[in-house]
Amino acid sequence: MFEREVFGNTVWGYLAALGTFLAVMGGCLLARRLGISRLLSRGRGADLQELLAALLKKVRMTECGLLALYLATRHLQVPHRLDRLIYSAALLALTYRALTMIQAAADYAVRQLLASKGHTGEADRGTARGISYLVGGLLWLLAALFALSNLGFNVSSMLAGLGIGGVAVALAAQAVLGDLFSAFAIYLDRPFVAGDFIVVGDKQGTVERIGIKTTRVRSLSGEMLVFANSRLTSADIQNFRQLRERRIVVIVGVPYQTSAEQVRKIPSLLQSAVAAAAQARFDRAHLKAFEQSGFSFELVYYVVDPAYAVYMEVNQVIHLAILDAFRREKIAFAMPATVFHQAPGVGAPQIW
């Protein structure tokens, strides 16, 4: 009875195929279940163990069933079209599952790399997502080429055709590709991250999102500024994230009619004005130059808090203190003026 042929295969062949199918299916599911329970039984906190358990959880009955069906049909004589269909389905399912597992492992590796360097903020998580998108795109491309090659397509000729067409596409989409590679450069070089306050030319604001083509910046007045990534990689950018204190230079002018005694007092008056502000640190104050409108003094101080609102408050306190001190000492501020001198007996005045 076991040697009887049914649809070109013996009963022994069908029994062997069934046994192979059940063995592979059961072994796959059992290994998945035991592996997950063993990894999770060691307790939480081991990131690598949790990653391996998550990878095993991605394995579904679909992939196990197609793999078992393909191996089982090796014992049988099946029509060529059916055999190719089973092979193609198993190949695509296993390739897709392997791709998702490799991509999850790559995401984990990117996060661990950033965490090892102390980059654990929200902005750094955004950077990790951007790098993961780029790595995922490359993995999908490689997986597609692998699947097509194993399905019998001539990948070499396809790549040659894509190379010729790619030149035309690259020329047509030069700006888009430039922004794409600029985004990759921003992710790797990190001149700024989401949350940084930057100044680009006459535009300034807080970075909200770094995309594949554009970067979105929220300006101080509330509107959204959209910059092409290629512009940001070629422009000079002021990043205030690392700002610890602000250096401020103030120029104060007094007229030439100011007495020598008052001129000598001015540096100490400027220093006292800085001392009146709680969050300011005095650096220096000197008579700098003889300008057209009078004596020019340069005051330099630091605001120890990087917040702009704090700087404006300190700046106001110091300027008001300078005003009070000059009024108290009866020192006037210089004003732009032109002095005319007319010599006796000369009709037109001369400008000096």
The tens-digit pLDDT sequence of the chain (352 residues) is: 556 666 666 777 778 888 888 898 888 888 888 887 777 676 555 567 777 777 888 888 888 888 888 888 877 777 888 888 888 888 888 888 888 888 888 888 877 776 776 665 655 666 666 677 777 778 888 888 888 888 777 766 666 656 555 555 555 556 676 777 787 778 777 788 888 888 998 888 989 888 878 889 998 888 999 998 888 888 888 888 777 888 999 999 999 999 999 999 999 999 999 998 989 999 999 999 999 889 999 999 999 988 888 989 999 999 999 999 999 999 999 887 666 666 666 555 555 5
Contact 111, 128 (CB under 8 A): yes
Contact 200, 227 (CB under 8 A): yes
Q: What local confidence, expressed as pLDDT, does residue 168 receive?
A: 55
Angle separating helix axes 122-150 and 80-116, nearest 10 degrees = 160
Q: What local confidence, expressed as pLDDT, does residue 320 receive?
A: 95
Plot region of 287 (φ>0 → left; ψ -120 to 50 → alpha; else → beta): beta
Q: Where in 77-145 does DSSP place strands (E)?
A: none
Q: For residue 351, give the nearest of 303, 292, 281 by alpha carbon.
A: 292
Contact 86, 70 (CB under 8 A): yes
Q: What angle do CA 65, 69, 75 make, to 5 degrees?
A: 155
What is the helix, strand, coil percentage profile of the chain, to 5? 55, 20, 25
**For tokens 């949790």, what's the residue?**
50
Q: What local confidence, expressed as pLDDT, does residue 146 receive?
A: 81
* Dmax (CA) of the chain: 144
Q: What local confidence, expressed as pLDDT, does residue 295 receive?
A: 94
**Does the pTM exceed 0.75?**
no
Please give the DSSP secondary-structure letter assigned to residue 91. H
Residue 309 CB-density burial (10 A; 0-12 exposed, 13-18 middle, 19+ buried):
exposed
- C-alpha neighbours within 13 Å on the C-beta side of residue 48: 0
Q: What local confidence, expressed as pLDDT, does residue 328 receive?
A: 93
CA distances from 308 to 197, 312, 338 (A): 11, 6, 37
Residue 56 token pair: 């095993």
Q: What local confidence, expressed as pLDDT, does residue 323 receive?
A: 95
Please give the DSSP secondary-structure letter assigned to residue 321. H
Q: What local confidence, expressed as pLDDT, does residue 99 receive?
A: 87
